[in-house]
Structures are given as C-alpha cells and as structure tokens.
Structure 1
Amino acid sequence: MKKAALLTLPLLIASCNPSSAPGSGSVTVSSSKASVSTTNNQLTGNTTYTFTNKAGAREVTINSATLTWTDPTSNTTKTETVNIPAFTLPAGLSCAAATSNPTASCNFNDPATTFADRTISRAISDAELFGKLLSSNPSVTNLPVNVQFNSTQNALPFTFSSAARTDGGDGGKPSEAAPKPLITINTTGSQPYSGNLSVTVSGNFDATSKVKSLILEVRDSRGNIDNTTFTSVNPTTSFSIDTSKYPDGPLTLKAIALTDTGLRGESATQTVQIQNVSAPTIAILSPDANSTLTGPSVVRVQFRQSTTAFTLTPLSGANDVRIDVRDFRGQVVKTAFGKASRVSEGIYEAFIPIDLIGPEFSSNAYTITASAQATLADGSTRTLGTTTPINTRVNDTKPPALNVLMPAYFTDPFSNPTRPVLSRNSALMMQASDDVEVSSLRLDFTCDQATALPGQSCPSAPYTYNIPVNVRGIIYRVFQIGALLDAQPFVQNGNYTLRVTAFDGDGNTNIQEMPVRVSRAAVDSEIANLASRSVIDNIVYDTRPGELNIVSARWVVPGTTANPVRVATLAYDNTSGSLIPSRQRVDPILSAGTSIQLTQGFAAEGIYRIDFIVEDLVTGVTRYYEGPEIVVKRNAS
C-alpha cells in the first residue's frame, strides 16, 4: 500500500474538498451539435455527448438530465428532468487498463497510476432526451433550451424547433404519426457479449400519442422469440438482458412501439453476438437417490446443454460416460462405462447397466458417481461429475453381531461368577453391527427363583425395555438403565439375568446374557475413592480475535481408584442429545490408583461432552459419570 506521504494536493482535494464530491461539478460535458429539430413531429437521430472527469476527481455516475427553457406563451421558466441509462465516469486517474478501455477503473495504489482527465462519449437519442420538451412545445422555432446532466459543471445550450404535421384538410389540426422506435446498445467493449446486456429502447412517439406499450423483442440463435419479458408503458426505457439465459450465438433485437389508437412502429433489427462459456449440467436420473436396489439395475445419466455447445470425450473405446460405485468406506467396488446419445436439442443420455446383488456385494449403502469430460465450443474442457446415494438389499439370514461392553464379567463366568452391580447411577454400553441395519435392541431383566435373593419376588414376565436404532454398520449405544429402575415397572433389588437382544430388518436376532445384581444400597452406588460426579478443569482459553475461545479442556472424575477398574470413555461432539457417542474407547483394566480423566483439544466450534462408565473389578459396582458440556465459539474478529 502506498504511504500517506505520496498523496498529492490534487488527490487530497479530491478526497476531502466538497467542491470535488460527486454532484458538485467535477465533470464537464460537450455535445456534437447545438440544435435539435423534428421531422413530421418526430424526433429522430442521436446526439453524442462527451463527458470529461478532471484529474484527481472521484468517479461519478451520470443518470439524468435537466432541461430548462422559457415558455413562449407564459414567459415563465420551465424545467423537466429526464432519466437516462446510467453509466459511470471513472475517477481522474490514468493506468494501463484505461489505454484500451475508456471505462476501466484505475486503482491509485497500483504502480504506474497517475492523475489524468478521463473522457467517455455517449450517444443519447434525441427522442429520449427531448421528448418531454416536444410534448410541451409541439410547434416552436429556435426555442433556447439548456441541458445539464447531473454531476456536471456546465449546461449545454441548444435551440429546439418543432413543427406540427397537418393533414392539409382540417384547418391545420395536428395528425398523429406512427411511432418510430430506436434501439441503443449501452454495453461497451467488443463482441461477443456475456453477462448482462444493457439496451435502451426509445419509442419516438408522436407528441399527441398516448403510449400503450413499448416492447423489446429478443430472438435467440435457435429461433425462439421472446416478446413478453421486456415490456414497458414508458416512452423510453432501459432493459438489462441476462445473456446467460440464451444459447451462445447471435441475439437479434427489435423494438416495437404501440399507441392507444392502434398505431404501430418497429425499429430496424440489431444483432449482437453473445457467448457465455458454461459447461453442461450432468444428473443421474435413475436410480432415485436413497432408493434400494434388489436386483440388476440401469443407471440413466443425462447431460443438458446450458448455453454453450459441447461434445463428450471418449473415456474407454467409444464410451464417454463412466460410472463408479463406492462402498461406505469410499472405495470403488465397481466401474462401468457407457455412451451418451442425443435425445433432443442440447440433451444427451447414457444408459449403463450395473449389478450390485452378486455374491461379492453385501446389503449396504453405496454411492454412484457419474463422470465425463466435455469439450466446449471455445475449445476449453470441463470435468463433469455427480453422485447419488443408493442402498442394496439381498435375502438376509445372518443375525446382527452383538456385544455387551459395560458392565462386563470381571471373574470367569464359567466358575462361580461374581455379578456386576447395577444401581440408580448405572449405565449400559452395547456394540452391535449388521450389513443391513440394526433395527432395534431389547433389554430384559429376567428373575429366576433358583438364584433370587431372600425376599425377592420373581414376576412371570421379564422387565423389558425396547430401544429403536435403525442404523446400519457398527454402532455403540449407551443406555441409562439406572434412571429406569425406579420407574414403572419397578425393578426390585435382587439377582437377574440381563438379556440383550439385537434385531435386524429381516427379523434375524442375536441374544447375549449375563448375570447382574440390582442394588440401591449406597455402597453399591459409588466407586470407592472417586467423587460422585465428573467436572471440567484445566480449561485453556484463547482471547485472540477470530480464534476459538477455548483451545482445550479436561474432563476428570476427582479422586483415584481404590481397586482395578474397567473404563469406557464416551465422546459426544455436537451429539449431546444422542445416546450414540461420536467416539468411544474401552480400557479393559486400569490399575488401582488410576485417575479417570481425558483432555481434549478443539479444532471447530461446537458443544462437547465426555462421559465415563466405570466398573469396579473387585466389587462389580458400575457407575455412569455424565460429563458437563463445554461450548466452543469463535471470538469476534
């Protein structure tokens, strides 16, 4: 950036002095002629105006002109303001870009930029600028009128003459003439044009006419005609045409002017070349997204031309479309090729068969990717691609896999096992998986009179809890059983068989059982030497603008274990409302004297939580420690 010492007096004046602010006269203007007259009461032709912005002045937008004259009848001053197509006069700076493009803006901080006058010429139709003057003065000779454009220093003097056309047989009564519309292309630069094209249409209506409609008719290179989008009820108007909505090639413009009395006028046609280089769109029309395939299928890929003609490059022999099928890991498990054929103007389609139901494929989630190489009309190439997710399903007789991770056996279950203890503060952790999906888990607490404790009554039906899952692949599920022991039905203290059943979508099941003891005694609710809840400490903050407010934090259960323990560590990253942890770890055995803790660093905004499930491997007590949440945000910049 240039230093302040390089600022010169002209720039300081331009920046600070109100006299050089837009609208205060930093611009001068001249015209190619000084008189305007009508022919058959019609204003035809254009006048070229040259606008000059002074060296060092800021850029100015010109969008209106004010006409001032003295009314011949009342001898009073009259004014009319006319809106014209807006354009920007660059700031009073010269640079390399301005050498070839008069409208180019220059950046003062760029090298080789100097102060200089900047000049732009604009052709404005006489009908657009003097139409209101003609309506007020349909028959005058050499009427003096001044024209001052907004943000200009000087007014231009004109003499205006109009003579009413008569039919010669009715005492000189003016006869209405048909409009003679004109088209002015405002967009500068060389063709072909792209983006928005600015066009001004002047109706050149007779002074006695009432405007019914002014239409800009657009015909594209395919012969399609649009005469409804660009319409107005004003005698002069400007339209902005989005050329990207039309195919590349010639765009033919014609103005049509209609009066209330039925008179019609058409302009000569003007043809401009447009080119918006854009790639075709690609889409997978079938199979539908997230649909389930149960047999061989056909992938239908469609290419639709945007504005630019294209051809597809062969990828394998004559085939120009590739299909890749990826599994849930992102690995390509199948590739196929096909050829796209023209089905209508600008539309091509390929039909490629695939079969994902063979013995080498399991029922699972897959992603179909379609890709191609397109060569556009200007010779450039584009890589096209799109994806769609699908599922496959075959007849499934395999049960889901199931493991109960917490609580766990801590003595040999085949030789007089010691039962894990569940209390009001306990939770269960299960791992299940299936190649289709785990639809649900069911927990049963079954009482057996042979193992029941004294005073324990055994109901005929087990205590049952159903947990919907509907997740494919491997899942870890945490179930806060302690909160439900006191609910209805009430689970009495005593010995039970904990039975966990996993179901898949085809009715296959897997059952795991283990003996447990339910106890609400205080001694069976706490882990020796550990606090009753976990806390967050060692929070590292960052106050720098734009950085995360917290760098890291530690979740810890205060104290150290008296006995060896088994610990499940559960991380919830923006999944606090879920019972499925986003990350998990099981330490099968940690020695006595261990501190239960985890420090986590943060790389993104979010809500984070760490939970622990701890099982004492001497007493069997299982305790759930739900950690506090921490909110990580980004500091204001």
Structure 2
Amino acid sequence: MTRTRIPALALTTTLLLAACGPNVPTTPGGTTGGGTGTGSGAPTVNITSAAGSTLSGTTLTGPVAQFRLSLADQDGSVTGVKWDVKQGNTTVAQGSLPAADIKAVTALNLPSLPAGTYTLNVTATDNSGKTGTATAQFTVDAQRPALTSVKVDGTTVNEGASLDRLVNQSAILTVTSTDNTSNPVISVYNGTTLVARDQGTLTFDLRNNTAGPAIYTIVSTDAVGNSVSQTFTVNYAQTNTETAAPVPVLLINNTDAEPYSNVLSITASAGVAPGVSVKQMILQVTDAKGIVDTSTFTSTAENATFNIDTTKYPDGALKLQLFVVDSTDKRGQSAVKTVQIANSVAPTITIVSPTNGANVSGPTEVKVQFRQNNTAFTFQPATMTLDIIDSRGAVVTTQTAPIVATNQGLWEATTTVDFNATQYLNAGYTLRASANVKLTNETITRNLTATSVVNNQSSVGEAPALNILLPSFYDPHAKLRPVLTRKSAVAVQVSDSDNIRQVQLQFVCDAATKLPTQSCNTDAYNYNIPIGKAGLFYRVFNTGILIDGQPFVEDGNYVLRVTATDDAGHANIKEMNVVVDRSKAGIANLTFNRTDTTDNGTSKLTPTTANWYIGTGAPIYDKNANAVRALSLWYSSNSEGIADQSPSLVGINPEVAPGNSFATGTIAFNEAGSFRNSFLVQDLTTGVVEFYPGAQVLVTTRQ
C-alpha cells in the first residue's frame, strides 16, 4: 500500500513549509498517595485524606472528594499545581490551584463525581521548571443510606406525618438505617436541637412536657457524608378538658344549574365550639389541572362569603374544601365539594419575536406563541399562517409553519422571513399570524389573529464568498445526507474584500423531513465564530461537542445552514441536508491522530521536526477501508492560532482511494512557536465525518 500525503490548497506551496510544534514532556508517575520528582531538586507531592490519613486503593469518599496535598521543594519553591481525575483512560475532571492557594499543606476539593473508582494525579512545578507527581486511587460512594424503618409506638411514620400525643405521654421512636458500605449514624433533632444519636438502630422516647407542635427530623449519615432525612410532627396536647374541633360547612349560593360561569358565590361557616373564636379559615380551591390555591380566600370571621371569579380557572371540575383553625389550635375541615365550571375562553395568540416596532434585516425568525386560558381546545389544523403585509395593506407573501407543544398549555410556531429577498423593500411591514381552533365545548371553529409591525432595514449588496468544504455530498445526485456524530466537525472557507463580521452555523429542523422519532425542536442551534477582518479564512465548527450542548441537537434530519456576514450586513447562506446520528460507526480502520517529534541536537530549535499521522504509534499508519475525502488542517501560533476553529492552512484531497494512509510527513521547524496538524475525513461510502485533532508541539529556541 502507498502512504498519501494530503496536498495543500493553491494558495500555499506545501504544508511541509510552515513549522513548529510543542513537545509536551511526559511527567513520571508517582506512587499511590505519594510523590516523585523529575530531576535533582525537583518538588515532591504527597496526597493524603483531608484528615491526613494515608490513602489506599479502597479509600472511600463522598461525591465531593477532599484531599490534603503536602508540597515541598528542597532548592526552591512550588509555583504551580495541576491536577486531573481519570476513570480508566478517560479524564473526567481537571484543574489547577491559584498561586495564592499553594502552601506547604494545601487542601484540594474536587468537583462532584458520580459513583465509581478514580485515579487522582497531581503535578507540582517549582520556580526552576522542575516537576513532581503523585497519584492516588479512591472510590466515590454516592449512595445515600436508607431509613428502612421509622416507627412511633410500633406504627410506621412516613415523611410529613403528623401525630397527636398528650403532654408527658410516652412515645417510643424506633429507627433502623442501612448503608451499602458502613453502619450509618442516626441523629434525631427537635427543631434544630440534637436530642438523640446512635449507629445503625436508635430507640428514643419522644415524651415532651410542653404543649404544642414539635417538628422532629431524623438524619442518617454514612461514613463519607451521604445522608437521608425524614421529618414528622408530634402535636402535644394538655390533658385538661378540651373543646370540640371545628366542623366547617360549605354552601353554594348560585341558583343556576351547573356548569357555573363568571362568579361563583360560596358561604363558609367555621363551625367552631361555643366560646371559641376563629384563628384562620381557608377556602382551598383546586382547579381541573390540579393546581391548588390556599391564599386567595381566607377569613378570621366565623361566617364569610367568598366570591370566586371562575374565569381565572380552566373549565372543568373545581374542587372546594374549607379548612379551619380555632383559637385553641384545633383543626377541622369540610368534605370536598366538586362543581363544574365553563366559561369558553379562547387561547391567546402572540407574536413574541420580532417585537412590535422592531427593526429587521436579512433572515429573521418569527416566533408565534399560543397560550391556553380557561378552555381546552384543538388546532384545526396545527398550522400557523403568517402573512407579510405592506403599507398599502396588500399581502406580499404568505408562509406556514407547524404548531408544536413546548410546555403544558403552551404551543409555538416558528418560521423565517428573509427580508433580503427581492419582494421586500426597505419599508414598514405588518406581520399577521393566524390559526384556527375549536374549543372543547363548542362545535364552531374560531380564528385567532395577532399582528406585529416591523421596519425592514436590510441592505442588499455583495456578500462574502462562502463554501462548505466538509461535510460534502458523496453520491452523484446529492441525495444522500452526510452523517454527523459526536466525533464530527464542519469546515468552511470564507472570503471578502470587506471585513467579515462572523460565520454562523445552524442546525435547522424541517418538520417535513424529520424522522418519526424526532421531536423537531423549534429553536435552531446557533454557533458563531467572529472574524473581524478582510481576507480568506478557514473556520472549523467542532459539532461533535456542540450537538450535546444547549439547545440539545437530537438525532435526526437537519438542514445544516452556514451564514457568512460582513460589517455592512451582507450575508451569504449555504445549506446542506445532513443527519445527526450518534450511534453511527466511525470511519473503518482509522483510529487516532498521533505525533512523532525528533531532535537532532544541533539545530537552534527544539524539537527539530514533527510528523502528524493517523495510526497506532511507532509509527504504524492506519489505512482507510473505503474511499474518503480528507482535509489536513494546519495550525500555527504565529498565524491564526492553534484553536480548533482557526486553521492557518487547509490541504484538501477530494478522493483518497482505499488502502492509503494519512500523514503530514516530516516537517522541519524554522521558527519558534506552537504548531499542530489535525485531519477531517469523510467516508465516501457511509457518509460519516470524523475529526482527528492533532497534539500541540511547542518549538523553542535551544538554550
């Protein structure tokens, strides 16, 4: 087989000319909990528990692991501390300590980790650049203990329970708690006061000599700080003769038949014992959606009339119940009374963006919101119609968009109007959104309408030139969708003689082509890369990372839209149908981007050369199974920088036959700086796109 080098674009002579790259040294490993140094007089690191105990492979911590670092340097001072946490070969967390926090004994608090076994690596650097490393294994126990039994006088007590006992009456609390790794400590609090504590099981008498409610909280805590709690109330009453509890009564004053509308009049009677006054009377109203109102209708009178505005509640069942607390703190409640209400209030339609009076230009997203009021309804059909009307009242264009539910009682429809289109002048327009609905208790269809006035300020001129380099179409008729996974990226080329403001990437879901399992989020996923200057540029969007962010891009069919905008507001848009499929297999036979560096010992620069290649080391080059389209992305700190999104040069091979390898070849460095080379490859059989980021090589002047 042959090894294929990917040619550079016409604007460069070859990728081999550029030059330089960081040779990051490997820090030697330390022993568990201890530390080693690199070179004479290197710093030492020792890792112990937060309490100073020696660690072992079975050391348990809570989700927020805490350690103590002992740092020392015999011929200088420790100036930097970096750490990372690995689970297997995967780095799950990393960071460094601020210089002000570095002391001989330093606390290290890790971020919250899920249950599992981890390796902590700590590297200290002294003022001479020497390093020392320590490694420790630990296991995170994230499982809370369980309160397996909570009983008072042999009866199970649940969370939030309320018990009645007499003053000085015995009330034996028994608690049993278990844990996966330790015998948990059980604590009992009366309010905030600790009253009992034991391990595994606890027995305690809740006897109290003071009348009134007492709130008890049981907390079970395991050896690493995981805890579970349960709260209940014991109401202690005096043993003297007591009056009867209230017996509340509810009466409906309306004389018309159900369902009621507008105002519902209620007479409430507290039903307290003779000589006892009302401390509080509450009319609890529960609507058809289960929402409970206990604050609107209250009184301290023995008899009260409440007028309920039923238009504030959804049509359907309205449950009424009266709760009374008398002056002796006795409580009573009436039976639940259920009535039917119906007001036939249509949903509200609103154009939420653009706002009324807004200035618009170019492609503008129009979002229309529908909010249910009292009455349930159905769309007839679930489609929003948007008319764009000019100042004469004439309809210029009409668009439609599907209406989708976004929350309970809330729907949205979103469409895009391109005010750069030739039919739109720089003038005022009225956006008129409409939809048809049918209320549950009606046979007719109602039309909902909302309007918003906007002012078009689009400027039509020469837009930046824009090309999507990868992904590419891989069938003769451009019908098959390129496949993006968690390892993919998108590369574009943009140029303009004027300042290019930004390049934007969007995933836009089209309801007409979405998959059956796809919910088609109405919010497009946007990502901008600012440029701010004129010329020819390459930009890379690391979509493999972006699709799992917020908003989340679920698996399915999308229009990949790339927009380049200049400072004058001119925009160029390129679109491509793609499919996001995280489960799709990667490119066969291609593994990782690796870097080999050499140093001849005589050059003024170190290292002297570097070779980036896809392979398994030594070097052993991988060879593609299928034909592929490949991009070689060169990064230089002396040009566009070394961030993924800003390559300095791009080499393109539109079709690499099976059995070839991917490498830059030996690059000789001729200047100091940071350099790296990445590969972006698309399988021309499966359509899968994969990004192979290269390691950074730091080239310095030999001392």
- Structure 1 or 2: more helix by fraction: 1
| TM-score where L is the length of structure 1 | 0.36
Bigger radius of gyration: 1
| TM-score where L is the length of structure 2 | 0.33
Flag the structure with more relative contact order, 1 or 2, with Cα contacts below 8 A and sequence separation at least 6: 2
